[in-house]
Structure 1
Amino acid sequence: MLHRRAFFAAAAAGAALVAASGVRTQPRPEKSRVTIAVGGKAAFCHLPLTLAEQLGYFRAEGVEVDIVDHPGAVRAQQALLNGQADVCAGAFAHTLGLQAVGQHVACFVLQGRAPLLAMGVSTRGFPAYQAVPDLRGRRVGVSALGASSHMTAALVAARGGLRPQDVQYMAVGTSASARAALRAGEVDAICNSEPVMTMLEQKGDIKLIADCRTLRGAAEVFGGPMPAACLYAPEDFLRRNPLTAQALANAVVRSLKWLQTAGPGDIIKAVPESQLLGDRALYLAAFDKGREAIALDGMVPAEGVRTAMAAMAAFEPAFKTDRLEPDRLYTNDFARRAKERYKV
């Protein structure tokens, strides 16, 4: 195993050619086509990825990207580990879980600086709810077991003094399936992504009890800044394909910059109709609620790594953070060069 400094020095040496040679003479990426696995592409946390695709930013960097949507983060991870994908779009916390089982992957560009998640209880199925301890013995819907929504819900429950076995967590997916599960009474509470939660909130289907769509709300649940959605890849991929990784980071950071000034009309034109849930006003309302959670420059804050490690330890007591190598969980080298290129 290469030490992080030696490993990323090798990757950086190749990727640095991009900045040194200028935009017009930029070397071609090692791979002309890349497959990115994602669990729930329509979720707001992956909006920068969607925009990089829809606005042609990946193609502008010389890479054709195939984004394969999977039913949940675990399936997307499996696709990466099985070699069916080159890169995975998922939660930063996944890099910790994978490293803990000997799979060294690294985040190389951040999409979100807070999880675009919220948690609420059913107003129809659980009208007697008053406080978190009331969740004891109840069914809580999450996008997938082991996903960020599961971790978030578990941390909210723990804050109320509940143990993992006190709550029954059920995978309900995202989008339409999540809404249907709550409305059908299959779950008493739900922790999910946007724009699902804003829709349930606006329809009066839920009473919000935790909100990680804002930096403040996320800090209350996780105890500090919590890096969220990102692109991560095996160390070997980054070492062998530094120009490709740089091209992907460039495209995502460029979309992050675009989002900083985009207006409602711009968003509606860029996002595929299939992701608007049939209600453009709702989509824009959800975007407005979670806008500050979107990363600004693609870089992972060091403090956020500590927050993620503490959250994982709280979520899974058997998780041994002392066995992790924090410096191998991420690199800001690619995002930093992209930031310089696009002046984010």
Structure 2
Amino acid sequence: MKKKWLAVLAASALGLAGCASTASQNSGTSSSGGTGTPVSIMVGGLNKQIYLPFMLAQRLGYYQQQGLNVTLQDEGAGVDATTNMVAGAVQGVGGFYDHTIAMQGLGQSMESVVSMLTTPGEVELCRDEVKDRIHSPADWAGKNLGVTDLGSSTDFLTQYLAQKNGVDPAKIHRVGVQSGNTLIGALQHGNVDCAMTTEPTVSTLLATGSAYVLLDMRTAAATTQQLGGEYPATSLYMMTSYVDSHPDVVQKLVNAYVATLKWIQTHTGAQVADQMPADYYAGSGKDAYAKAFDSEKGIYNPTGIMPPSGPPTDLAVLQAFNPDVKGKSIDVSKTYTDKFVQAAK
């Protein structure tokens, strides 16, 4: 499994190295502008509220204040964003912290430099037609389950929840459906029975009456019930080699994100919506976007410090089923650092 994955990664790296120079031309790219130090960050779904701090920091002007010209690139899945970073196409990834653990199992050293979410903020939705057949993950055997992509954090969580509820992950059919409109279409057309997603997609689907909530991990209590403890999710993670060689750039990025996290704590959903691009809430509407934010505001880390009990929970989840982590000696202390958050101004 490891050799196969690394072979795919190597092939991707060759391809990405050739296209890295044109990445800024992609339609899913947004630059903070200015003449500051250039930094490229790939985010596993820029319009998802779980990744709100990345675009919000740009809209608030915090990158420019730090002397940075940050280019945000949109990628549908964190696993693909991670591959881009390993290939050298971007300097950082806005994605789930658990990728740093999975990649250590594959011999790659990367670390979270700021923690943005203390819970996954994920919701498992099922299409209304299966309501009498799927009441919990214990009913998943033989079902088609949507994840952002194979190897993504939603894939990790889906497999863990299946196993925890007595279903062999090999007995479920995981389907990469990305997020937003592609995920909505997959559910509404019956291509998947259930799918794991976040706001604003959750509100958009529930408003149509075509889906129902199977389980919800938008609160600390619900996350502990499903996963056994705090599960730090969204973070900015980077290759350890980059963190060690560019501490000044990393510090400026963390300064911007700590300021953004503090701004989030003192503002309402309506004020957040006013800052965001209109296409971020085009599906559900601006009011629904604001309401969704207000209902899940507690998912955001107010300090940026990694919750001490969080990394062991992430590790336990991955060790339960992931062959790249299971049985490996993983040092979680090397998968994150708080020194930049502690020094943030």
What residue in structure 2 maps to residue 54 of structure 1? Answer: 59
Do 2:76 and 2:178's aligned partners in 1 also have CA atoms closer than 8 Å?
yes
Do 2:118 and 2:233's aligned partners in 1 also have CA atoms closer than 8 Å?
yes
**Structure 2 matches for 1:176-191, cutoff 5 A?**
176-191=181-196
Q: How far did residue 159 of structure 1 move?
A: 2.6
What residue in structure 1 maps to residue 343 of structure 2? Answer: 337
Q: How far did residue 114 of structure 1 move?
A: 0.6
Any idea what SS the aligned residue of 1:330 has? coil
Does residue 325 (structure 1) correspond to residue 331 (structure 2)? The answer is yes
What residue in structure 2 maps to residue 12 of structure 1? Answer: none
Measured in 2, the distance between the counterparts of 1:222 and 1:128 equals 23
Matched AA of 1:307: T
Q: How far did residue 288 of structure 1 move?
A: 2.1
Do 2:105 and 2:324's aligned partners in 1 also have CA atoms closer than 8 Å?
no
What residue in structure 1 maps to residue 33 of structure 2? Answer: none
Alignment match of 1:295 (pick from 276, 301, 305):
301
Measured in 1, the distance between the counterparts of 2:205 and 2:215 equals 14
Alignment match of 1:286 (pick from 280, 292, 306):
292
Any idea what SS the aligned residue of 2:343 has? helix
Measured in 1, the distance between the counterparts of 2:90 and 2:298 equals 30
Matched AA of 1:61: Q
Matched AA of 1:50: M
Q: How far did residue 224 of structure 1 move?
A: 0.4
Q: How far did residue 191 of structure 1 move?
A: 0.9
Aligned length: 309
Do 2:147 and 2:196's aligned partners in 1 also have CA atoms closer than 8 Å?
yes
**Structure 2 matches for 1:64-143, cutoff 5 A?**
64-143=69-148
Q: Which runs of 5+ in 1 are unaligned?
A: 1-30
Measured in 2, the distance between the counterparts of 1:101 and 1:110 equals 22
Any idea what SS the aligned residue of 1:95 has? helix
Which whole-Å deviations, capped at 9, do the CAs of 1:226-273 have from their partners, x for residues lacking one?
110100111111111111101000111111000001123311211111
Consecutive aligned runs of 4 or more in structure 1 exceeding 6 Å deviation? none
**Structure 2 matches for 1:1-344, cutoff 5 A?**
32-278=37-283, 279-317=285-323, 319-320=325-326, 322-338=328-344, 341=345
Matched AA of 1:259: I
Measured in 2, the distance between the counterparts of 1:137 and 1:125 equals 13
Structure 1 pair 322/131, CA: closer, same or farther in 2 (3 Å)? closer
Measured in 1, the distance between the counterparts of 2:307 and 2:130 equals 40
Do 1:155 and 1:221's aligned partners in 2 also have CA atoms closer than 8 Å?
no
Q: How far did residue 134 of structure 1 move?
A: 2.0
Measured in 1, the distance between the counterparts of 2:97 and 2:156 equals 12
Q: How far did residue 132 of structure 1 move?
A: 2.8
- Higher deviation after alignment, 189-198 or 249-258: 189-198
Q: How far did residue 74 of structure 1 move?
A: 2.0
Q: TM-score, normalised by structure 1?
A: 0.86
Q: How far did residue 135 of structure 1 move?
A: 1.6
Structure 1 pair 256/318, CA: closer, same or farther in 2 (3 Å)? closer
Structure 1 pair 256/337, CA: closer, same or farther in 2 (3 Å)? same
- Higher deviation after alignment, 216-225 or 58-67: 216-225
Q: How far did residue 44 of structure 1 move?
A: 1.2
Measured in 1, the distance between the counterparts of 2:47 and 2:146 equals 18
Do 2:147 and 2:155's aligned partners in 1 also have CA atoms closer than 8 Å?
yes
Matched AA of 1:326: V
Measured in 1, the distance between the counterparts of 2:110 and 2:66 equals 23
Measured in 2, the distance between the counterparts of 1:38 and 1:265 equals 23
Matched AA of 2:86: L
Identity of aligned residues (%): 28
Measured in 2, the distance between the counterparts of 1:272 and 1:155 equals 35
Q: CA RMSD in A?
A: 1.5
Measured in 1, the distance between the counterparts of 2:242 and 2:137 equals 43
Q: How far did residue 285 of structure 1 move?
A: 2.3
Q: How far did residue 121 of structure 1 move?
A: 1.7
Q: How far did residue 126 of structure 1 move?
A: 4.8
Matched AA of 1:288: D
Q: Which runs of 5+ in 2 are unaligned?
A: 1-35
Query: Which structure would you say has the larger RCO, counting Cα contacts within 8 Å and 6 or more residues apart?
Result: 1
Q: How far did residue 277 of structure 1 move?
A: 2.7
Measured in 2, the distance between the counterparts of 1:260 and 1:133 equals 37
Structure 1 pair 126/265, CA: closer, same or farther in 2 (3 Å)? closer
Matched AA of 2:91: D
Matched AA of 1:92: Y
